[in-house]
Amino acid sequence: MLVRHISNLIGRPVMAKPRPVVVSGPSGAGKSTLLKLLLEEYDQVFGFSVSHTTRNPRPGEENGRDYYFVSREEMLHGIDAGEFIENAEFSGNIYGTSKKAVQEVQARNQICILDIDMQGVRNIKKTDLCPIYISIQPPSFEILEQRLRQRKTETEESLQKRLAAAKLDMEFSKEPGIFDEVLINDVLEDTYIRLRSVLSEEIQRVRALQN
């Protein structure tokens, strides 16, 4: 009603901003792999919220594209200054979504994608961001461990921390009312098709808004 009223006043339709999408799930479940496919296929529709982290870059990761890689001191300073929508300690490092990262995507009228852990999900629930919540889960704990080991990004110590967090995350995904969709990432192509289908309505809405 209010939207229609404003449209009438300025003489053209005003549409609400696209709803952001939160993608969460245990480390190694396949979030980044799926999001890479989505961002490649719909590069004008989706924009990635580039988080800050205190962890070291992995080979091939780029500052400003995959993360903003910062010192713990810098991160804590930003958090104290109120620059973050949410932040969390995960596997010995701090991660956080800055207000600026989300605003930059929204300014382009794109669907903002946040790849965040379960603490982030709980914290985003307390904000007015109102995203679609999607959990990506592995077919089993054993397969998750295999995938994480095969990725070869972790030391044995950090792997064990991630696996401990994964157990909690797999339970969290079963809590009623948290996620709009829980996708089990077994065969990658199948999961991707389901992810695209979950987001199809929002994709169409954004395309209409952009044309």
Ligand X SMILES: Nc1ncnc2c1ncn2[C@@H]1O[C@H](COP(=O)(O)OP(=O)(O)OP(=O)(O)O)[C@@H](O)[C@H]1O
Ligand Y SMILES: Nc1nc2c(ncn2[C@@H]2O[C@H](COP(=O)(O)O)[C@@H](O)[C@H]2O)c(=O)[nH]1
CB contact at 8 A, 132 and 22:
yes
Is 65 tagged catalytic? no
Phi and psi for 91 in degrees, rounded to 5?
Answer: 50, 40
Closest separation between CB of residue 86 and ligand Y, Å? 6
Which entry of ligand X, ligand Y, none binds 150, CB below 5 to 8 A by partner kind? ligand X
Catalytic position from the list 19, 151, 194, 205:
151
Is 122 tagged catalytic? no
Per CB under 6 A, 28 contacts ligand X: yes
Residues in the chain: 211
Is 151 tagged catalytic? yes
CB contact at 8 A, 115 and 206:
no
CB contact at 8 A, 136 and 21:
no
Per CB under 6 A, 27 contacts ligand X: yes
Residues in a beta bridge with 63: 67
Q: Choose one: 30-38, 80-88, 168-176, 200-208; the region binding ligand X (CB under 6 A).
A: 30-38
By beta-carbon proximity to ligand X, the closer residue of 53 and 110 is 53
Task: Please give the structure tokens belonging to residue 211.
Answer: 């044309």
Per CB under 6 A, 95 contacts ligand Y: yes
Closest separation between CB of residue 186 and ligand Y, Å? 19
Per CB under 6 A, 115 contacts ligand Y: yes
Give Cβ neighbours of residue 15 (< 8 Å, ≥ 6 apart).
3, 205, 208, 209
Task: Please give the structure tokens belonging to residue 29.
Answer: 């479940």
Per CB under 6 A, 91 contacts ligand X: no
By beta-carbon proximity to ligand Y, the closer residue of 33 and 109 is 33
Give Cβ neighbours of residue 134 (< 8 Å, ≥ 6 apart).
21, 22, 23, 24, 179, 180, 181, 182, 183, 195, 198
Give contact residues for ligand X (rule: CB under 6 A). Answer: 25, 27-33, 147, 150-151, 185, 188, 191
Positions that interact with ligand Y (CB under 6 A):
27, 31, 51, 55, 86, 88, 90, 95-97, 115-117, 119-120
